[in-house]
Amino acid sequence: MGSVVVSCGDDNNSPTINTDDNGTGIQNNGGDGNTKLAPEAEKKHIEETARLFESYFDASETEEITSAAKELNNVANGDLDDLRKTLFAETVASKASVYTSNYYDVIIDASKTKGMYEATANGRWKKTADSDNLVMKFTDSHDAVWQLTLTASGNKGRVYIDKRTKSTYTSSYSNGEYNDEITYTQRKYYIDVPAQTKVVLTRQGVEKVNCVVNISELASGTDYRPNPLSKAKGTVAVTLTPQNQPYVVNADFCYLPNSKCWANTTVKKGSTTLLNERCEGTSVAPSSSEKDLNGKNITCTVDILGRLQVRMSSDDVRKVYEAYKNAGAYDNRTNESYVKGCSDVINANLNAKLTNNGGSAEQATVKTTVRAKNYTYYSNGSYVNGYRYSLDAVLNFHDGTSYAFEEYFSKSYFNDVINTFNNFVDKINAQVK
């Protein structure tokens, strides 16, 4: 299996063409990358790239892992309940008398995830020893021993991750009167983030999964967006070896206030790069009234097998994000001119295009347009026909033709791709049932 390499090539900017077919016989019909193809030829190239991408995934490779996972579902929690209580430390933040409200802070501390636990098929988890790490041994019905080891070290600070509110209604009858009461329970979740987290899964001593997360910088705080703006920097490395060649995922990310930001991810199987994603730009700290991240001069490229690239750039990510969010808001969906205005904002602030084989020729650009969908609603005693409007992505080719994504990637043309994917999902589902 050959490796995928896409480079700038020689002084004439000729890209390196990937001809690795993974034994499928699929050819690379994407041209030299610097020549625009006809829309039908580009459609064929996309379809062939998708089929080739799918060929690297075989459901049979996961049978060992999914079989063990299915058996684990029948193992009783046992002593793991005590571990969960230790990990999720809940403290009363405050109580309010109005409508009987209770507020709790839930602190998740990964450093407390320790101990050795063992179980067998159809059994229960039992703590067998103390340990500086979390070690879980499971003997499946085939007498194969699986061991998961989790190691967390250091602490980069506490951050807020979620909030959940639950209401409970009760009613009682006393002295001829009904007494209704509503209790609101709110829990805010925080996590103490380790500097390094490592997870290793083995079967009969042979490594199946190895995941290492390193956090070098992190803004801590009790708010969703601590002040100054959250910052995070680190790396993630995952190796999954189900049976044959390993899948390897490497990622690094950085978001620093008013500084350079990036996120890079590479997915390989063996020596072949299946997917390569690169994003970079400049972060912008929001005002005190803003909560979401923002960026300027952002560029992103997603490369599939070196054969097909999706390239995007934006001078102002916030404008794009807010326009997309506002267009989908419930109160705005029946306002055609408003949704069209959102589409105009996105198109003015986001450039997206497709290229082949690492070249510079724009095979197609991607724009948003407004799609109308008829619906019937009840108003003033009668049913009325109306329209809801939504954003739709459109591929625009150099010959002036354009296709909505739903039309372009239709089942009739990409039938083999869709059927192969559905078949893969069906096999995985069958394994875990």
3-state secondary structure of 360: coil
For 152-186, write each residue's pLDDT tens digit: 999 888 888 888 888 887 777 777 777 777 888 88
Q: How many domains does the chain have?
A: 2
Same domain? For 43 and 109 the reply is no
- Flag whether 69 is in a domain: yes
Same domain? For 50 and 63 the reply is no
Give residue 123's pLDDT.
95
3-state secondary structure of 84: helix
Q: Which of 134, 146, 129, 127 is nearest to 72 (CA)?
A: 146
- Flag whether 190 is in a domain: yes
* 2 pLDDT higher than 70: no
Same domain? For 323 and 419 the reply is yes
- Flag whether 143 is in a domain: yes
d(CA 49, CA 183) in angstroms, rounded, equals: 55
Same domain? For 305 and 430 the reply is yes
d(CA 105, CA 162) in angstroms, rounded, equals: 10
Same domain? For 266 and 407 the reply is yes
In sequence order, what E strands does 380-431 have?
A: 382-396, 402-404
Based on the number of CB atoms within 10 Å of its own CB, is 373 exposed (0-12), middle (13-18) or buried (19 or more)?
exposed
pTM of the model: 0.83
Structure-token match 């077919």, residue found: 21
Same domain? For 162 and 49 the reply is no
Domain extent, residue 90, equals: 58-198
For 49-79, write each residue's pLDDT tens digit: 999 999 999 888 888 998 999 999 999 999 9
**Average pLDDT over the chain, rounded to whole?**
86
Give residue 6's pLDDT.
43
For 373-390, write each residue's pLDDT tens digit: 998 887 788 888 889 999
> Could you tell me the two tokens for 329?
């808001």
Give residue 4's pLDDT.
40
Same domain? For 246 and 376 the reply is yes
Give residue 185's pLDDT.
87
* 36 pLDDT higher than 90: yes
- Flag whether 206 is in a domain: no
User: Which of 140, 168, 198 is the last residue before a domain boundary?
Assistant: 198
Same domain? For 181 and 249 the reply is no
Same domain? For 310 and 292 the reply is yes
Q: Which range has highest mean pLDDT (64-68, 138-142, 403-407)?
A: 138-142
Decide which of 35 and 407 is more confident: 35
**Mean pLDDT calculated for residue range 230-250:** 89
Give residue 202's pLDDT.
96
Q: Which of 393, 299, 313, 310 is nearest to 354 (CA)?
A: 310
**Mean pLDDT calculated for residue range 301-319:** 94
Decide which of 371 and 180 is more confident: 371
- Flag whether 208 is in a domain: no
Those residues whose C-beta lies under 8 Å from the C-beta of residue 333, and which sit 6 or more positions away, are 327, 339, 388, 389, 390
Same domain? For 148 and 238 the reply is no
User: 14-28, 182-196, 410-424: which has the minimum mean pLDDT?
Assistant: 410-424
Same domain? For 34 and 112 the reply is no
- Flag whether 379 is in a domain: yes
- Flag whether 290 is in a domain: yes
**Mean pLDDT calculated for residue range 188-206:** 92
Give residue 11's pLDDT.
45
In Å, what is the CA distance from 208 to each residue of 131, 135, 199, 201, 429?
A: 22, 15, 11, 6, 20
Same domain? For 259 and 375 the reply is yes
For 259-308, write each residue's pLDDT tens digit: 889 999 999 999 999 999 999 998 876 655 555 557 788 999 999 999 99
- Flag whether 209 is in a domain: no
